[in-house]
Chain A
Amino acid sequence: EHLQTQHVSIPARSRLQYTFPPLFFYKPHLWWPNGMGKQSLYNVAIIVDVKGYGESDSWQQHFGFRKIESHIDGATGGRLFKVNGEPIFIRGGNWILSDGLLRLSKKRYSTDIKFHADMNFNMIRCWGGGLTERPEFYYYCDYYGILVWQEFWITGDVDGRGDPVSNPNGPLDHDLFLFCARDTVKLLRNHPSLALWVGGNEQIPPGDINAALKDYLRLHPDFESVDENGKPPEDFS
């Protein structure tokens, strides 16, 4: 069930996007945040063989089955989270980066993130004035069960506040900002610890950037529609 081979022809010097038929799992081990259960991780491997050549490329990644939902609570104004249908009380740590000279070692990530887990935290918030963290950071958050609240590169203090007002329209090159945002999402999107993207710190990004980010990150309509038996649509793939 968890092994599948498909055949695809790719025209010369071209790119295409391909979606595998969905793989079915019955009661897989779920990934849970720190304190709620195990951080079950599966290894997903993709290998492409080319006729007449052999193995051409491969890719693999740890993957955790989890469903994260959140919404703003009308009564308190706070954001409430559920993981795999269960409400979770968020105990979070704020994070800028592990080293101001960007010597971002795996050992340091492992130690720092384990320390957050040992403190009984279940979330790290990556502040918009710092980095979008690296895959190695996310790997250890996956491993230790730390949810990640990841902000993009907007802060109220540098984009929109002060006297005179600082950069009210955000960065000069909005297309560049959005290109970087798309590329960063592609880099990090498969990590089970990735819980929430936020436009910036204490500030809503400029209108066009905010609208584009919301559009990029909206749930694909196919994932909102299920039939009366709870099955995905026929043409899901």
Chain B
Amino acid sequence: AEIGKTPLDSGWLAARSTEVQFTGTQLTTTHPPTGPSSPWMEALVPGTVLATLVKNKVVPDPFYGLENEAIIDIADAGREYYTFWFFTTFQCDLSANQHCDLNFRGINYSAEVHLNGHRMVLPKGMFRRHSLNVTDILHPDRSNLLAVLVHPPDHPGKIPPQGGQGGDHEIGKDVATQYVEGWDWMAPIRDRNTGIWDEVSISVTGPVKVIDPHLVSSFFDNYKRVYLHTTIELENKSAWIAECSLNIQVTTEVEESICLV
């Protein structure tokens, strides 16, 4: 596989968890969904459960007229109603000493990940990244089956008849976006933005991975002397000492296709 990141943003299916009779292990081994036939539908990833339901015309678009009133609120339907499976497949043929991470840049609110029959739990929190080392569970030469069961926020709350700022405020007990219970400018979001709401990707590296570089500049002599300070984390995933050559290069495009190093 080529070193680098590949977004997984197409080919996703989704289904309400209560309408799926198989376990995560079965979905990613013996009984994967075969296409967008009931209860499965084409999914929007990244996006929310409600975005997928709107895409499939299961519910009307809540931002037109008073259509939001026609969509059942999670407070009345229960959390299970907006608990959804998301499913996709991907290829990743690793060579020797290559490693693969499965990355989620944002899930609201918690999830179980199943890949080729292996289960991993993604902890709570809308604003956190998850990175799973899946090197040892990928299938060489054939599709990998990925199913993600996404649970809504723990405290979706109820919307008082008179509405109001943040509904009954229960959503504030979670680490999630708060406007979803409605505000003076916004109707309540019925699924509270449950879903795989930000990028999903796989990243392939060799034995050593670069993590979260930090760039800082400092200025002296009225901006004539400037220093760029760079700190990185490095992870050696191999079972041997890695002798690394670290290269940093700063370029600027002075004309089209001509860069100054």
Q: A12-B239, A101-B48, A131-B177 are in contact. Are A157 and B231 (CB under 8 A)?
A: no
Q: A23-B227, A67-B219, A102-B47 are in contact. Are A166 and B172 (CB under 8 A)?
A: yes
> A residues within 8 A CB of B212?
186
Q: A129-B179, A180-B175 are in contact. Are A46 and B205 (CB under 8 A)?
A: no
Interface residues of B in 219-249 (CB under 8 A from A): 219-249
Q: How large is the interface on B (under 10, 10 to 19, 20 to 34, 35 or more residues)?
A: 35 or more
Q: A53-B207, A102-B51, A158-B171 are in contact. Are A7 and B244 (CB under 8 A)?
A: yes
> B residues within 8 A CB of A54?
206
> A residues within 8 A CB of B259?
43
> A residues within 8 A CB of B236?
10-15
Q: Whole-angstrom distance from the CB of A152 to the nearest CB of chain B?
A: 9
Query: Per-position contact with A for B181-201: 1 when CB-CB < 8 Å, else 0?
Result: 101011001000101011000
- CB pair B175 A177 closer than 8 Å: yes
Query: Per-position contact with B for A160-187: 1 when CB-CB < 8 Å, else 0?
Result: 0010001100111100110111011011
B91 near A: Cβ within 8 Å? no
Question: Which residue of A4, A153, A184 has the most chain B CB atoms within 10 A of its CB atom?
Answer: A153
Q: Which residue of A lies closest to B253 (CB)?
A: A43
Q: How large is the interface on A (under 10, 10 to 19, 20 to 34, 35 or more residues)?
A: 35 or more
Query: Per-position contact with B for A1-43: 1 when CB-CB < 8 Å, else 0?
Result: 0111111111111111111101111111110000000001111
> A residues within 8 A CB of B214?
186, 189-190
* Bound: A40/B226 CA distance, A: 15
- CB pair B178 A51 closer than 8 Å: no
Interface segment out of the listed A56-64, A72-80, A141-149: A56-64
- CB pair A155 B234 closer than 8 Å: no
- CB pair B208 A56 closer than 8 Å: yes
Q: A19-B230, A134-B198 are in contact. Are A153 and B127 (CB under 8 A)?
A: yes
* Bound: A2/B47 CA distance, A: 40
A100 near B: Cβ within 8 Å? yes
- CB pair A179 B241 closer than 8 Å: no
* Bound: A23/B248 CA distance, A: 9
Q: Residue A13 contacts which of B106, B220, B237 (CB distance < 8 angstroms)?
A: B237
> B residues within 8 A CB of A12?
236, 238-242
> B residues within 8 A CB of A20?
229-232, 246, 248
Q: Which residue of A lies closest to B97 (CB)?
A: A53
B217 near A: Cβ within 8 Å? yes
- CB pair B230 A61 closer than 8 Å: no
> A residues within 8 A CB of B216?
220, 223
- CB pair A18 B246 closer than 8 Å: yes
> A residues within 8 A CB of B226?
24-28, 65
17 A-B pairs besides A46-B246, A51-B244 with CB distance below 8 A are: A2-B249, A2-B251, A3-B247, A3-B261, A4-B249, A5-B245, A12-B241, A17-B231, A19-B230, A20-B231, A26-B224, A46-B210, A49-B244, A102-B46, A155-B166, A184-B127, A190-B213
